[in-house]
Structure 1
Amino acid sequence: MLFPSFDFKKTDQGSVASAIGYLGKAYLENATVDDIKSFVHDTGSTGYWAMASSVEEATQLWDAGVYKVVFPASVIATLDLESYPVDRIALATTNLSEPLPTHASAILYLNAPATIDPTWQAAIQQWTKTLLPEGGNRQVVVQLPADQISPEVIHQFHMAGMDTLVSASQLTTDKTSQQLDIGQAFMASATTDRPDGLYATLVVDESNQALGLVYSSIESVSESIRTGQGVFQSRARGLWYKGATSGATQTLKHIDVDCDADCLRFVVQQHGAGFCHLNTRTCFGPSGGLTSLQQTLQERHKNAPEGSYTARLFNDPGLLRSKILEEAEELCDATSKDEVAWEAADLIYFALTKCVASGVSLEDVEKNLDKKARKVTRRPGNAKPKFTQPAAAAVPLSDRIEMKRYSLDQLSAQQQKDLLLRPIIDSQEITKRVTPIMSDVRARGDAALTDLTKKFDRVELQCPTIQAPFPEHLMQLDPKTKAAIDQAYDNIYKFHDAQMDRETLVVETMPGVVCSRFARPIERVGLYVPGGTAVLPSTTLMLGIPAKVAGCSQIVIATPPRPDGSVVPEVMYVAHKVGATHILLAGGAQAVAAMAYGTQTVPKVDKICGPGNQYVTAAKMLAQNDTSCLVSIDMPAGPSEVLVIADHTANPTYVAADLLSQAEHGTDSQVVLLAVDLTDIQLQAIEDQVHEQAIRLPRVDIIRQSIPKSYVLRVGSLQQAIQFSNEYAPEHLILHTDNARDLVKDINNAGSVFVGHYSPESMGDYASGTNHTLPTYGYSRMYSGVNTLTFIKHITSQELTAEGLDNLGDTVMQLAAIEGLDAHKNAVAVRVADIRK
């Protein structure tokens, strides 16, 4: 087999450099480490050999991408190479009698004779029969006198089990040159048993996916190497320049032969519709897996459908970065085989989107993997400090945390509308994940719950529920915590009890016609309390108290278990206080499904309330839309949000604290500041406080992602601020203004309003009395936050006397007749006839 050598000090080899790159192997002479790095980068191959005289020099070459380091026989015996892979080591010698080494995978015989000595050949053949520990055979390369080299000699030595070293100065791709054609030299060792002399050729893409099977000739191989294109031999038409008429051309990347030298492989970059005449990428049908995904992303990058999620990722680097970080974390947290595969697929999708956006292909990634695999030195491999230390200690304090700035008077009408938008949620993808979970719980009940809790929460449960009365030992609290919960409970209860509709509404609409409306509790309710490792008694209070006030007879509280399978005692204590009947030890979509459909130990409920992540929200929406389970929900949900209106009376420290109290919820938290006629100095004071307070918070890593996606909007008046706020319809609205109470009458859309400098959002979140389960994502235009009426339904009644029926009967009969509902008319007519006899 041809083995080219490339001397970096010679200037007459440039014309065949790319051709050598197609072969993917060569002996590099007089090359520096930087020369080799450039050659590896330009040709994309890591199959090169180079000479070294010391382990230190060899290490540099290996790390640069060299496959085999060749040591002179005079020094190899003095080196300790036992710790290095044998397949990376070769011996160079001029002595045919040199002992054949055990810890080397190849021998390079320099200045070898052009005739083959039988004794020498027998020794070599015996040595090459011993396979390497990593697989493959040992290799022998001979350097012959330049004037003795021809395709016939290359073939002769190949048959004797040796490759022939040929200087690039002797090789050419020029058809008119008298030098050795590199294609002919390469094909000198190939064999075929076909009568027409053609060679079976497998054509693959850069990911080694088979595109199709063709045939080659010595001429077509030479032409392919000369042109750098896919050129093959058609049995009917002669030389076949792939894609010359269809446009589906190929760029040659690599060419080699199999272990028996009777089959060629062309590695190409396929252009156009594909390799096959049927306009598919391969002759075996469409591509799949990563190749197909890359094609789709590359097409989307050029011409993405308007509104597509992938287009949004390409146009929003911040979102793409957040998704990569999110999916990486979910992959780290995955445990089961299916879960790991699922999360890895997500991460690969977003990572490949990043690659395509940066002009990087899978092939570029694979080349870098090959380069890294060639290295023999290794870093310790420790994680960076920010991934191993607490967040506050890991983040550099020098990076300023700032919100974006806009001025209302400098924005077009469309730009103002854009500021009202929230992040697009890929509900279709989320629904795909949630639907099978809900179906599993519906079908298998408690068994599915325990399996899913083990999968997602890594907790094994004997039973997924705890029924009241709850054991005392599960709700033991320190006195200070208990007192805080009790005070919050009293305030929240007092406010929600005042909302209770206890009186029956009675109205006599006309003599003898009495209409009434009365309240009744929704009997069975499910309350979702996020948690697991978190402690969230506040959400349990906010959901449980109005359900208790309303008089719900069955209250199921769902919350993820802790690692030991228990519920945090604070939540258990609140569950006891609000009269919960069941605690479901589950979170996510499986908890929603259990409450919506019921299981062996979880009662089916009539309404599900409570916040949660996007999977919980999707599960609630699916349950509500499933008429077979007959369940309602409190409201749709999106990322948590706050809008702060601040004028010149605002305290910068207070404003910043309120902004950050929302920003720490999650990387997708929505934080907006409306700065009313503030000077640059006044606004800068708030921004300085945002940074200074943020860097001292334990959740600063989250804030570093949420705050830069948030914004300050400078407005000229309170009227402009109120108008924008009503259009934005925030979950939380905080008024840091003079005479803030006077603005409340103008607020039309908000989940909850925090009035004045001493009313932080935190008070409503925990203990002032109002509810913190509020509409987000702009839904405060049409939804209320959770309240006592959330757990109540109203029933109307009417009672008519004979006089009332007589007075109203003709009106009803006329309207029924107009609508063609004769049975309706008759139900009145038979009675009126008796009355009027």
Structure 2
Amino acid sequence: MYISSSNSVPCVGSVLVLAAPALVPSKNIAATEHVASGVRGGHGVWATCESPEDTTETVSSLFDRGVSVVVVSVSLFGACASAGLPLDRVCVRVDSLGDIPSQPRAQVALLDLDQATTAFGPLPNKVKLVVRFRQAVNVNVATVAALDLQNIDVVVPGDFDRAACLAAMLNTDRPDGFFATAVADPCGVALGFAFSSKASLEHVMTTAQGAYQSRSRKGLWIKGLTSGAVQRVYRIDRDCDGDCLRFTVEQADPGFCHNNTRTCFGPDSGLTALEATLRSRKAKAPAGSYTARLFNDTTLLHAKIREEAGELCDASTKDEIASEAADLFYFAMVKAVAAGVTLADIEEHLDRRAKKVTRRAGDAKPGAIEREVALAAEKAKASPSTTTPATPAPTPAKVAIKMKVHNHTTLSTPQKTALLQRPIYDLAEITSRVKPIIESVQQSGDKAIIDLTAKFDRVELSSTVLNAPFPQSLIDQVDPKVKSAIDTAFENIRKFHAAQLNTSTLTVETMPGVVCTRFSRPIERVGLYVPGGTAILPSTTMMLGVPAMVAGCSEIVVASPPRKDGTPVPEVVYVANKIGAKAIVLAGGAQAVAAMAYGTASVPKVDKIVGPGNQYVTAAKMLLQNDTKAMISIDMPAGPSELLVICDNNANPAYIVSDLLSQAEHGTDSQVILVAIDPTPDFLARLQQELHTQGEALPRSDIVRVSIGHSYILTVPDRKTALEFSNQYAPEHLILHISEPASVLPDIINAGSVFVGPWSPESLGDYASGTNHTLPTYGYARMYSGVNTDTFVKYLTSQEVTKFGLDLLGDAVVTLAEVEGLEAHRNAVAIRLKDIRAGRV
């Protein structure tokens, strides 16, 4: 095995481990501790005790600090044997093989050499020999490989071709010469399997960055280079036969697997899964969750740790002990994660303790035994034969679903501003994930769509597009009752959007002989993105498709994720057929947006893409509208769904809460806000009670708990303040639960869609009243409209000028062109004026 003191990554074999810095002087204890923590538990950390001042106490101290092997002189070796120290961890440094002690038998010896050699005879007593070359001159890969065949480890100073040496000591029966490589986390959990080569090993050993040999791409695969899921390599191990490597890595999210999971063997379980969940909760804890409460309330956490420790002590059966230990592990891991401590850190301490040779008695603290005896005596007083069976404790009720309440009057200006903020997303991270998807579709077209759909949706497509006329068999799968509901909603949406279509021509004579006109034309080719997956969204297909149909777009393309069998949702097909769509793209996500933007062999290219989607779909739309190769426009940016309700004390709390929850159930990132005008305490209490009662009854109550956690009630003194706050917030949906609600419509400046009065729930707009539900979110209602008929048209202008009109207007144009220095512009008018005024025309 090859060992180098200048390794960036520790290289280890089946017997000995030596990590950088290779040999730490005993007097440099701080350095020893640093190295021990740097390679996870001190695996492979060696220290030297060759000073006259070093004693067996020095060696014991190093073992207790987690050092694996201590190098000592021949004389100190004998003292270590007499002191009963573990001789398999004591390496004796000798000047020749004849100096190796045989009684007591040395198990590991270190020999320093000035020149490279491979001439060694049989080692006495089968000792494990480590050769340390004082200089790298004449030491080459062949030397190291030859010594390895003799089971001799090597230390080479300075720079050296570590990757080549390691490769020379590995066995492989593959024709391409690649080496099998298992990848594990610091806790030893297998993340996946890959292959290494000399080139990939060199990259790893010099950068400590995970890299492998790609068999399909014929080159290096640097983990995380495009996905961001980078690896830091801590160790490289060689198995006992030398035909497999193991990389120990710290893996960045979302994980090692191309399916965006931490392992290639399915989801984590046990403690590693718990640790990952807790880390996620710490980074973005759902407000109102129990774990979030524990992170923020150390008093509660410490009380639970002590409580669970006591219950573990009381447990007697196998199942009880396992259950109580699991509870204690959970709360202990919350404490650890809160402090940035990992499972690997905990295992490091266990490993270092296992290396200790000095043991303490392990007695309990003073008084602890006495308290335990007293507690046992108290329990013994209650005889099982005279006590009635205990009634099982009721299951504790979940924390109430409740909204925070803020008083506008008492808030500072910064606090009011903070209430207007939406969740902040890491746009750089999202963009870094979306760009490779867009580039893949641009370069590989239909193949990329098929590959990405298999990767993200786990659906194997035989075709990327379903062209019109659509199969009647799919349309027939729609329930007649659902068809009737779609038809009703379709007609209402059509009526409202048809009324918006302006087919007239605006004509204005700006001065005698100068006539300007403005008229509309449909955008020819439009793409409608309909989110899907497990959801069925004929409503979104209607909201996008009906105005496109009304506008007269000549080509309508619908994109929506397919079902598991590779076919589109029948209800979406039914609506697509009614709007006269040309094709349905069987894909979702950024890849569907890119396919419609660039066009592929199967997917028609469009001129504009509209429709809602997650943050990755939105990022793709925004990136592509700025790509001159795509040449598309989009409807609007988008964010999580949101709702603001304004109410007064005359409103029905049950109706208000039902509206709030209708949006809160969309997703954990949804936000709902209630602006209450001078509410009474009783009114607020009724609202909170309704919130919990209705929220608990919902199938998606877990989602509601999270979204309600970052929602709030704002109390304001009057209607004017309520409207001012609403206009500043610019909500996607605004509901007016106030007396004479229509009277305030002239005061509403910023909102996606307004729902007036108690009989106008937001759900009507989502489905069937006729207005559009694709609306600006995230505050974009300040400058964007929701989708409407005008979304699918463009406006052209024309001007027609008579000879008389040019004679009147021409001098002004000539003057302005001269001011701007545009001679050709000036001449285009002047040449005509000259003919007019000379009477030649």
User: Does the 8 A contact of 1:611 with 1:637 survive in 2?
Assistant: yes
- Distance in 2, matches of 1:777 and 1:214, equals 66
Which residue matches 1:567?
568
1:447 matched to 2:373 = no
What do residues 127-155 of structure 1 show as CA deviations (whole Å, max 9, x unaligned)? Answer: xxxxxxxxxxxxxxxxxxxxxx9952655
- Distance in 2, matches of 1:333 and 1:192, equals 46
Partner of 1:720, secondary structure, is helix
- Distance in 2, matches of 1:768 and 1:442, equals 39
Partner of 1:193, secondary structure, is strand
- Distance in 1, matches of 2:570 and 2:153, equals 72
Which residue matches 1:433?
433
Cα distance, 1:793 vs. partner?
0.1
* Paired amino acid for 2:607: D
Which residue matches 1:192?
110
1:679 matched to 2:605 = no
User: Does the 8 A contact of 2:80 with 2:87 survive in 1?
Assistant: no
- Distance in 2, matches of 1:340 and 1:834, equals 83
- Distance in 2, matches of 1:187 and 1:410, equals 81
What TM-score results when the alignment is normalised by the length of structure 2?
A: 0.60
Q: Classify 1:462/1:328 alpha carbon distance in 2 versus 1 (closer, same or farther; 3 Å).
A: same
1:358 matched to 2:339 = yes
Which residue matches 1:787?
788
Cα distance, 1:738 vs. partner?
0.5
Mapping for residues 548-563 of structure 1, pairs under 5 Å: 548-563=549-564
User: Does the 8 A contact of 1:594 with 1:602 survive in 2?
Assistant: yes
- Distance in 1, matches of 2:257 and 2:677, equals 41
What do residues 105-133 of structure 1 show as CA deviations (whole Å, max 9, x unaligned)? Answer: xxxxxxxxxxxxxxxxxxxxxxxxxxxxx
Mapping for residues 28-427 of structure 1, pairs under 5 Å: 151-152=77-78, 154-155=80-81, 191-194=109-112, 288=209, 358-361=339-342, 363-367=344-348, 397-427=397-427
Partner of 1:506, secondary structure, is strand
- Distance in 2, matches of 1:822 and 1:778, equals 46
Which residue matches 2:743?
742
Partner of 2:604, secondary structure, is coil
Which residue matches 2:535?
534
Cα distance, 1:192 vs. partner?
2.5
How many pairs does the alignment contain? 556
* Paired amino acid for 2:738: T
Partner of 2:110, secondary structure, is coil
Q: Classify 1:809/1:187 alpha carbon distance in 2 versus 1 (closer, same or farther; 3 Å).
A: farther
Cα distance, 1:372 vs. partner?
14
Q: Classify 1:794/1:353 alpha carbon distance in 2 versus 1 (closer, same or farther; 3 Å).
A: closer
Which residue matches 1:764?
765
Cα distance, 1:830 vs. partner?
1.0
Cα distance, 1:504 vs. partner?
0.6
What do residues 704-739 of structure 1 show as CA deviations (whole Å, max 9, x unaligned)? Answer: 111011111111111000000000000000110001
Mapping for residues 459-498 of structure 1, pairs under 5 Å: 459-476=459-476, 477-498=478-499
- Distance in 2, matches of 1:500 and 1:46, equals 74
Cα distance, 1:332 vs. partner?
8.4
User: Does the 8 A contact of 1:640 with 1:731 survive in 2?
Assistant: yes
- Distance in 2, matches of 1:162 and 1:523, equals 81
Which residue matches 1:776?
777
Q: Classify 1:263/1:450 alpha carbon distance in 2 versus 1 (closer, same or farther; 3 Å).
A: closer
User: Does the 8 A contact of 2:737 with 2:757 survive in 1?
Assistant: yes
- Distance in 2, matches of 1:786 and 1:364, equals 53
Which residue matches 1:311?
none
Cα distance, 1:438 vs. partner?
0.7
Cα distance, 1:410 vs. partner?
1.2
Cα distance, 1:630 vs. partner?
0.7
What do residues 669-695 of structure 1 show as CA deviations (whole Å, max 9, x unaligned)? Answer: 011110110011101111111111111
- Distance in 1, matches of 2:738 and 2:352, equals 61
Q: Classify 1:289/1:831 alpha carbon distance in 2 versus 1 (closer, same or farther; 3 Å).
A: same
- Distance in 2, matches of 1:712 and 1:559, equals 36
Which residue matches 1:796?
797
* Paired amino acid for 2:571: E
- Distance in 2, matches of 1:340 and 1:603, equals 38
User: Does the 8 A contact of 1:327 with 1:346 survive in 2?
Assistant: no
What TM-score results when the alignment is normalised by the length of structure 1?
A: 0.60
Which residue matches 1:707?
708
* Paired amino acid for 2:429: E
* Paired amino acid for 1:411: L
Cα distance, 1:367 vs. partner?
3.7
Partner of 2:470, secondary structure, is coil
1:754 matched to 2:672 = no
- Distance in 2, matches of 1:674 and 1:331, equals 45
Cα distance, 1:435 vs. partner?
0.6
Partner of 2:406, secondary structure, is strand
Which residue matches 1:722?
723
- Distance in 2, matches of 1:759 and 1:436, equals 44
Cα distance, 1:289 vs. partner?
6.9
Which residue matches 2:643?
642
Cα distance, 1:336 vs. partner?
10
Q: Classify 1:651/1:352 alpha carbon distance in 2 versus 1 (closer, same or farther; 3 Å).
A: closer
- Distance in 1, matches of 2:108 and 2:446, equals 65
What do residues 314-362 of structure 1 show as CA deviations (whole Å, max 9, x unaligned)? Answer: xxxxxxxxxx9x9699998759969999xx9998985896977523156
User: Does the 8 A contact of 1:527 with 1:610 survive in 2?
Assistant: yes
Q: Classify 1:490/1:397 alpha carbon distance in 2 versus 1 (closer, same or farther; 3 Å).
A: farther
- Distance in 1, matches of 2:618 and 2:823, equals 45
Partner of 1:566, secondary structure, is coil
Cα distance, 1:405 vs. partner?
1.4
What do residues 501-560 of structure 1 show as CA deviations (whole Å, max 9, x unaligned)? Answer: 110111111111110001000000000000022100000000000000000000000000
Q: Classify 1:772/1:162 alpha carbon distance in 2 versus 1 (closer, same or farther; 3 Å).
A: closer
What do residues 733-782 of structure 1 show as CA deviations (whole Å, max 9, x unaligned)? Answer: 01100011111110000000000011111000000000000000000000
**What is the root-mean-square deviation in Å for CA atoms of aligned residues?**
4.6
Partner of 2:518, secondary structure, is strand
- Distance in 2, matches of 1:286 and 1:352, equals 30
Q: Classify 1:598/1:337 alpha carbon distance in 2 versus 1 (closer, same or farther; 3 Å).
A: farther
Which residue matches 1:624?
625
Partner of 1:795, secondary structure, is strand
Q: Classify 1:352/1:640 alpha carbon distance in 2 versus 1 (closer, same or farther; 3 Å).
A: closer
- Distance in 2, matches of 1:441 and 1:160, equals 62
Q: Classify 1:327/1:754 alpha carbon distance in 2 versus 1 (closer, same or farther; 3 Å).
A: farther
Any gaps of 5 or more consecutive residues in structure 2?
1-28, 34-39, 45-74, 91-102, 115-129, 135-150, 157-203, 212-222, 225-250, 285-335, 356-394
Partner of 1:649, secondary structure, is coil
* Paired amino acid for 2:643: V
User: Does the 8 A contact of 2:498 with 2:550 survive in 1?
Assistant: yes
- Percent identical among aligned pairs is 56
1:651 matched to 2:569 = no
Q: Classify 1:186/1:757 alpha carbon distance in 2 versus 1 (closer, same or farther; 3 Å).
A: farther
User: Does the 8 A contact of 1:155 with 1:189 survive in 2?
Assistant: no
- Distance in 2, matches of 1:815 and 1:424, equals 48
Cα distance, 1:814 vs. partner?
1.0
What do residues 562-620 of structure 1 show as CA deviations (whole Å, max 9, x unaligned)? Answer: 00111111111000111111100000000000000000011110000000000100000
- Distance in 2, matches of 1:717 and 1:558, equals 46
Q: Classify 1:797/1:561 alpha carbon distance in 2 versus 1 (closer, same or farther; 3 Å).
A: same
What do residues 24-71 of structure 1 show as CA deviations (whole Å, max 9, x unaligned)? Answer: xxxxxxxxxxxxxxxxxxx98999xxxxxxxxxxxxxxxxxxxxxxxx
Cα distance, 1:263 vs. partner?
8.4
Mapping for residues 796-835 of structure 1, pairs under 5 Å: 796-835=797-836
